[in-house]
Amino acid sequence: MPLVLAEGAIMQCSHGGQCKLAPGNTAVTVSGKGVLTIGAEAPFTFGSAAAPVPGMIAPCTAMTPGGTPQPCTTTPALPDGLATKLVVGGKPVLLATAHGATASGTGVGTWQITDPGQTFLEAI
């Protein structure tokens, strides 16, 4: 079973941008961190070197054809990244398998989870 995402999970775009996701829903916690439900991942715009965002680990390097930074913006997670049995506040929780598309100055890209933020709670 895939791990449930918790506050501090790391999302990465196809241009190398990385950010920690927050805040989590504290109605359910894992090691003191709130779990992440659908909507925590999108819409979200990664930061650039010139315009960092809170939680940014690495900037998105996407640029317009003219060379202006235009970081990726995420779309909602695809259904295989959502729990079907664990719901918090009426929303399915996000899983370590979460992924989706992005839009940026270079066109369509992708995002994925590289660290779920916890290693204990699994769900289907």
Residue type, 67: G
| CB-facing half-sphere around the CA of 6: CA atoms within 13 A | 17
Q: What is the pLDDT of residues 23-70, one digit of tens each?
A: 899 999 999 999 999 999 999 999 999 999 999 999 999 999 899 999
Residue type, 116: P
Per-chain mean pLDDT for the chain:
96
CB-CB contact of 112 with 12 (8 Å): yes
Tell me if the pTM is above 0.75.
yes
Q: How far apart are CA 103 and CA 28, in angstroms?
A: 31
